[in-house]
Structure 1
């Protein structure tokens, strides 16, 4: 059978976290750059579908193609390393330190942002024929998304910031569930199906994903959206990053680690408990 039991895939999560923390700088940057770029292309693809069909569900159903591709190619998203890297530290893996985790997060953030920004520039050129005319319908929609999800939150003050943070939490609850779901199967088909479902949910529900937003908002500024880079950072990216960290680490990583993973010194105690 291709299904992997929770106790086994949690070990895979810890192993993955350890490998990411110990990865060298060039590999980390390349893998995160490619992840940011591929996810940005998928976001542009989903927005295009939504505009052309008038049905956001269709865009959400097809957006996960980007996530599945980047995962299967071994590229890294910030949302994923938020969840996996700390587990290796909790498991006391040799050489895994807090500084190492923070280094990994910082490099992945930079790589993701660079990849997403590259695609934002390329798509802005496409949507405007090399900035020679006004954005097409898809470009205009991306600009409106940026306005609504920065200034729209700012209009509500603290309540808007809370809503933004919670959307970030909910997003990586789903996205990291997708990361883990890929470890639940040893077949490519099983991995893709497992990833597809929670990623589709997050995108359709409008939750806030820090890496997707690295494309949408710089692209929106390039396409004439009426908001600034500081609006984007303060009223979206920074709170979204924090929310993504909380959602992925607490509701996925720690939840699974605490209940399905037993350290060697705990195995004897578990075995001593009689079966019901």
Structure 2
């Protein structure tokens, strides 16, 4: 069953309000599991891409993790970047900027806990408990970390701009996937609506702050030649900011403006009524 856009925006506002008032414990648990499932999906996608040599196949399969976590009601920072502000824009009782920021902070911490946990577990898996050198998947993860930190740094301000824009484009697609989870009532419909934008962002190499919470810590554990500061300055912080701006500018605000606060309709032009004599005139 398809949910019309006007009803969709109301559902998104309700979801944002619910998340703002959720308990600290539940917010952290849901965010931790969301980060963990997305990280596992990223590990799966890298494994598929490396072992088959087909990057597109990894992108096609990556959305499995996103779909699972949203069907289970878990949270990602990229999602609450859109949902929580909608409740504030709609002036829901008790919703404040402080409440929005609290939600963002808790979800960030929870996502990092979940993603970092999977990063450590995958580092163990691909090195046999750090007893051997990383296998081909582990090496690939390390090189991803290098290319998406030092690779940007080599270009200076232009690299930082590119990173920020990739973060914007990423959450445009991811937050569209979040909306897709609410635009259908049945599981197949939800899965299809989420699948398409998530596959797009992953294959295009856009920057997702939660995926990076897995890729970069695991890359450092697996011998990637970049530092924690490289990761924070040349990836995570600009990516978070880009995700925030992209989700708000391209998803939250357009949907809210045109479906929750619809402008007045234009008046139809009044056409003069022709007289019978005029109708009967020969051409």
TM-score range relative to shorter protein: over 0.9
1:100 and 1:210 map into 2 onto residues whose CA distance is 21
Aligned position for 2:139: 140
Q: Does 1:28 align with 2:22?
A: no
Shift of 1:221: 0.2
Aligned position for 2:76: 77
Q: Does 1:46 align with 2:45?
A: yes
> Could you report, residue by residue, the CA deviation over 1:69-110 in whole angstroms, capped at 9, with x for unpaired residues?
000000000000001100100100011100000000000000
Shift of 1:275: 6.3
1:94 and 1:62 map into 2 onto residues whose CA distance is 41
Give the alignment of 1:110-121 within 5 angstroms.
110-121=109-120
> Could you report, residue by residue, the CA deviation over 1:107-135 in whole angstroms, capped at 9, with x for unpaired residues?
00000000000000000000000000100
Shift of 1:182: 1.4
Q: Does 1:156 align with 2:152?
A: no
The secondary structure found in structure 2 opposite 1:121 is helix
Change (3 A) 1:99 1:186: same
Give the alignment of 1:97-136 within 5 angstroms.
97-136=96-135
Shift of 1:274: 5.1
> Could you report, residue by residue, the CA deviation over 1:21-54 in whole angstroms, capped at 9, with x for unpaired residues?
1111000000000000000000000000000010
Aligned position for 1:183: 182
Aligned position for 2:246: 247
1:72 and 1:182 map into 2 onto residues whose CA distance is 8
Aligned position for 2:273: none
Please identify runs of 4+ aligned residues in structure 1 that moved more than 4 A: 273-276
Aligned position for 2:86: 87
Shift of 1:262: 3.2
Unaligned runs of 5+ in 1: none
Change (3 A) 1:261 1:222: same
Q: Does 1:226 align with 2:225?
A: yes
Change (3 A) 1:94 1:161: same
Aligned position for 2:199: 200
Give the alignment of 1:51-70 within 5 angstroms.
51-70=50-69
TM score, norm. by length of structure 2:
0.93
The secondary structure found in structure 2 opposite 1:183 is helix
The secondary structure found in structure 1 opposite 2:183 is coil
| Superposition CA RMSD, Å | 1.2
Between the two proteins, the alignment pairs up a number of residues equal to 269
Shift of 1:181: 1.1
2:184 and 2:123 map into 1 onto residues whose CA distance is 38
> Could you report, residue by residue, the CA deviation over 1:142-182 in whole angstroms, capped at 9, with x for unpaired residues?
00000000000000000000000000000000000000011
1:181 and 1:256 map into 2 onto residues whose CA distance is 13
2:100 and 2:123 map into 1 onto residues whose CA distance is 34
The secondary structure found in structure 1 opposite 2:246 is helix
Unaligned runs of 5+ in 2: 270-283
Change (3 A) 1:275 1:53: farther
